[in-house]
Amino acid sequence: MSTYQELHSIEELNGFLETPGKKLLFKHSTVCPISTAAYEEFQAYLKEQAVQAAVILVREDRPVSNEVAERYGIKHESPQIFLLDGNDVKWHTSHWKITKASIGEAVAQ
C-alpha cells in the first residue's frame, strides 16, 4: 500500500523529483468528473502497490502544474499521470486512459 503527497510548491515538486527510483505523479482537477474517475483508479492502484506517488491539484496549484508541463515539454492535460524513473518521464497518459491496469502495466515495464 502506498500513500501520496500533495505538491503545493515548486520546491516540493523538486524534492519529489529528486527522490530516486520509480514514482507516479498525478495531475488532478477537483472539479472534473473525468479527473475524479481517474483519481479513483490511481488510488485503487496505490492501495495494492508500494510506489512513491504525488498529486498536483491543478486549479489550486497552477504554477506547479505548469512547471511539470514546461520542464518535460509535455502539454498539460487534466487528469494526467506520469511515471518517472529518477527525473525522466518513462510513460504518461491522460483522461480515460488512466486506469488501475494501465498504471500497473507501465510500472511493471
Q: Is 85 helix (H, G, I), strand (E, B) or coil?
A: strand
Q: What is the pLDDT of residue 27?
A: 97
Q: Does pLDDT of 3 surpass 90?
A: no
> Residue 73 to residues 12, 32, 44, 52, 92: CA-CA distances in angstroms?
20, 24, 28, 22, 12
Q: What is the pLDDT of residue 60?
A: 97
For the chain, list the domains and their CATH numbers: 5-108 (3.40.30.10)
* pLDDT tens digits, one per residue of 52-83: 999 999 999 999 999 999 999 999 999 999 99
